[in-house]
């Protein structure tokens, strides 16, 4: 982030850069099977803030990695994020009709193609990670970190299962924390960790980035829960009030809105403490994290 640049302009600039890379990395709409590639691109290139790839870039650049070298890892994580959204929106999961301001993938292409588009984005992500231009040990470490972050044990898929099962359970602090750390927090955390590993960060650096990510990821999802209650569908680009309507286990459901906002701010303060040894080079990461708890959509 350049000195006079605001965090919103920084995020917009980085999102534009990520979009250009995504467009190049994913097969064109005219590449057979055309319908599948259209569905993949429909969801992947529909917009969004690109927060996870931005975190990869910000973490890697903070420790000396080149932007272009980091982009494949950043884009791979965005592919995985989009795949998770496609599957989350399916009738068997959250049964949602709106994502990023337009009809969800299964509404536009049918359930079968949507499922396969999500699957294809996940495999495309790992194909992209296989081409990372860092030392082999670092590339292997990043692939392992990403696989665990989207897996079943404290990872995204495990969190999705907890989320589905949570609709039939009493909302508790333990359950909502487990869901948020796995379903949302794990992918945010691995974004930061991947950037740090790519840049050759030492064990202490990676540990600090991991703890920073865990706290930021939880704060991000807490605010997402708050916005679901306080904002409308047009502002969010997805169906507002859906969590309440489907009796989801959310932070406000357990702690209330006021405590939820206070908890998110506390987590960001604690996250900042982890970056203190890095001085000014962590300013970009801090600015993005602060945005996550102050955003209104």
Q: How many CB atoms lie within 10 A of CB 281?
A: 12
Which tens digits make up the pLDDT trace of 27-79? 999 999 999 999 999 999 998 899 999 999 999 999 999 999 999 999 999 99
What's the token pair of residue 260? 């939820």
67 phi, psi to nearest 5 deg: -60, -50
**Confidence at residue 239, expressed as pLDDT on a 0 to 100 scale:** 59
Question: Band of the pLDDT at 243, cuts 50, 70, 90?
Answer: low
Locate tokens 């534009």: which residue? 16
* Distance (Å, whole) CA 259 – CA 40: 38
d(CA 76, CA 143): 10
Residue 293, pLDDT score? 86
- Percent of the chain having pLDDT more than 90? 84
pTM of this structure: 0.92
Chain centroid to CA 173: how far? 22
pLDDT (0 to 100) of residue 248 = 76
Averaged pLDDT, 103-111? 97
Q: Which of 158, 155, 184, 157 is nearest to 243 (CA)?
A: 184
Please state which of the four CATH numbers 1.10.3430.10, 3.30.365.10, 3.40.50.720, 1.10.600.10 is assigned to the domain occupying 7-294. 1.10.600.10
DSSP state of 209: H
Q: Provide the residue ranges of all domains of the chain, joining segments of one domain with +.
A: 7-294
Nearest to 57 by CA among 211, 209, 150, 196: 196
DSSP strand E in the chain: where? Answer: 98-99, 102-103
Q: Return the SS3 of 89.
A: coil
Q: Is the pLDDT of residue 257 over 60?
A: yes
pLDDT tens for each residue of 147-183: 999 999 999 999 999 999 988 788 899 999 999 999 9
Q: Is the pLDDT of residue 130 over 60?
A: yes
| Range list of β-strands (E), 94-239 | 98-99, 102-103
């Amino acid at each position: 982030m350049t000195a006079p640049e605001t965090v919103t302009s920084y995020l917009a600039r980085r999102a534009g850069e990520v979009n250009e890379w995504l467009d190049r990395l994913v097969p064109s709409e005219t590449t057979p099977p055309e319908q599948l590639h259209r569905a993949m691109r429909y969801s992947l290139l529909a917009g969004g803030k690109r927060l996870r790839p931005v975190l990869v870039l910000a973490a890697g650049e903070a420790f000396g990695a080149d932007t272009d070298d980091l982009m494949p890892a950043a884009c791979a994580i965005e592919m995985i994020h989009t795949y998770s959204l496609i599957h989350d929106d399916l009738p068997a999961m959250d049964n949602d009709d709106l994502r990023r301001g337009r009809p969800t993938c299964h509404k536009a292409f049918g359930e079968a193609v949507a499922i396969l588009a999500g699957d294809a984005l996940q495999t495309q992500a790992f194909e992209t990670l296989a081409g990372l231009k860092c030392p082999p040990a670092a590339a292997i470490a990043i692939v392992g970190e990403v696989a665990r972050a989207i897996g079943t044990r404290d990872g995204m898929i495990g969190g999705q299962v907890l989320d589905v099962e949570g609709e039939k359970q009493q909302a508790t602090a333990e359950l909502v924390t487990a869901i948020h750390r796995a379903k949302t927090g794990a992918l945010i955390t691995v974004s930061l960790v991947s950037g740090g590993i790519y840049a050759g960060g030492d064990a202490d650096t990676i540990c600090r980035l991991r703890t920073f990510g865990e706290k930021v990821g939880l704060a991000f999802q807490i605010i997402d829960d708050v916005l679901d209650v306080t904002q409308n569908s047009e502002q969010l680009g997805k169906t507002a009030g859906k969590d309440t309507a489907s009796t989801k286990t959310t932070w406000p459901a357990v702690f209330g809105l006021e405590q939820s906002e206070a908890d998110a701010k506390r987590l960001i303060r604690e996250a900042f403490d982890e970056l203190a040894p890095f001085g000014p080079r962590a300013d970009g990461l801090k600015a993005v994290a602060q945005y996550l708890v102050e955003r209104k959509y």
